[in-house]
């Protein structure tokens, strides 16, 4: 059990585009379930479909409820997003601490209020925890989908607990030190011919710096060939000029 037990719940959402963006956000992080309570925009909503991009399946499977009580009735723990500290007897945590309160085998609801006003105190009473996203204190209100994607990321990190390694599809092997040294000998000989490595007492330090630059770059065999081609072309061009 994990991400398949996460339910994002939008209470009285007002703007179709925001609903679509939330659907896209949760699908980005492999969360499947969206619930809507009394949406204020017409539903189904073509603007929501447009902004959902590849997440139309999330919208089509979204469940519609006429009360918060029914929407959370089958869930075990509820986290309610709030942009301000409320005068209410509830534990308030940072979204950064969300993973400390999540229980792996529990069905979890993430609650968001309408864009204009947020959740009412009565609606917050259904939550186990209020969750605040740390922001600029003078400008703390976030777009609904932006808030949702931050929650998604934190939950995804928690439930996807294995280290993720990204591998490039780039084919060329790393150039050997011998290949890099041959390339360096080639360009240094050309620089010597042009009198670039002057004056003589600075030549060694200049060559050392050139060596440091190209050995540090971890060049591939293909990149060495490209650089050889560039310098050869420039050399031929200078001869003709």
Per residue in 101-130, pLDDT tens?
998 889 999 999 999 889 999 999 999 999
β partners of residue 10:
36, 112
- List, in order, residues 6 or more apart from 215 with CB less than 8 Å away: 177, 180
Residues 98 and 156 sit within 8 Å (Cβ to Cβ): no
> What pLDDT score does 73 carry?
96
Q: Model's pTM, two decimal places?
A: 0.75
**What is the rounded CA–CA span in Å between residue 82 and residue 119?**
7
Give mean pLDDT, residues 236-241. 69
pLDDT surpasses 70 at 100: yes
Q: What b/e string do you get for 139-178 counting C-beta neighbours within 10 Å, with b at 16 or more?
A: eeeeebbebbbbbbebbbeebeeeeeeeeeeeeeeebeee
The residue whose two tokens read 């179709």 is: 16
Most confident of 22-31, 139-148, 224-233: 22-31
Question: Given pLDDT bands bounded at 50, 70 and 90, which one contains residue 1?
Answer: low
pLDDT surpasses 70 at 240: no
CATH class of 3-159: alpha beta
pLDDT surpasses 90 at 21: yes
pLDDT surpasses 80 at 161: no
Give mean pLDDT, residues 41-69. 95
Domains of the chain, residue spans: 3-159, 177-240
Question: Given pLDDT bands bounded at 50, 70 and 90, which one contains residue 146?
Answer: very high
The residue whose two tokens read 């030190």 is: 177
pLDDT digits (tens, 9 = 90+) for 162-198: 777 777 777 788 899 999 999 999 999 989 888 899 9
């Amino acid at each position: 059990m994990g991400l398949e037990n996460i339910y994002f719940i939008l209470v009285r959402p007002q703007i179709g585009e925001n609903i679509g963006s939330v659907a896209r956000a949760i699908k980005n992080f492999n969360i499947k379930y969206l619930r809507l309570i009394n949406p204020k925009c017409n539903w189904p909503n073509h603007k929501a479909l447009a902004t959902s991009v590849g997440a139309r399946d999330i919208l089509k499977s979204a469940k519609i409820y006429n009360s918060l009580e029914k929407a959370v009735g089958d869930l075990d723990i509820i986290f309610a997003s709030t942009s301000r500290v409320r005068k209410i007897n509830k534990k308030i945590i940072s979204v950064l601490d969300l993973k400390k309160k999540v229980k792996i085998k529990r069905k979890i609801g993430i609650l968001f209020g309408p864009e204009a006003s947020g959740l009412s105190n009565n609606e917050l009473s259904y939550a186990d925890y209020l969750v605040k996203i740390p922001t600029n204190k003078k400008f703390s209100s976030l777009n609904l989908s932006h808030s949702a994607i931050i929650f998604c990321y934190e939950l995804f990190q928690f439930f996807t607990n294995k280290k993720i390694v990204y591998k490039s599809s780039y084919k060329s092997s790393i150039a050997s030190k011998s290949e890099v040294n041959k390339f360096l000998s080639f360009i240094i000989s050309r620089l010597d011919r042009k009198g670039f490595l002057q004056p003589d007492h600075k030549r060694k330090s200049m060559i050392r710096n050139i060596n440091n630059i190209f050995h540090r770059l971890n060049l591939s065999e293909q990149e060495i060939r490209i650089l050889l081609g560039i310098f050869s072309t420039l050399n031929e061009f200078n001869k003709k000029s």
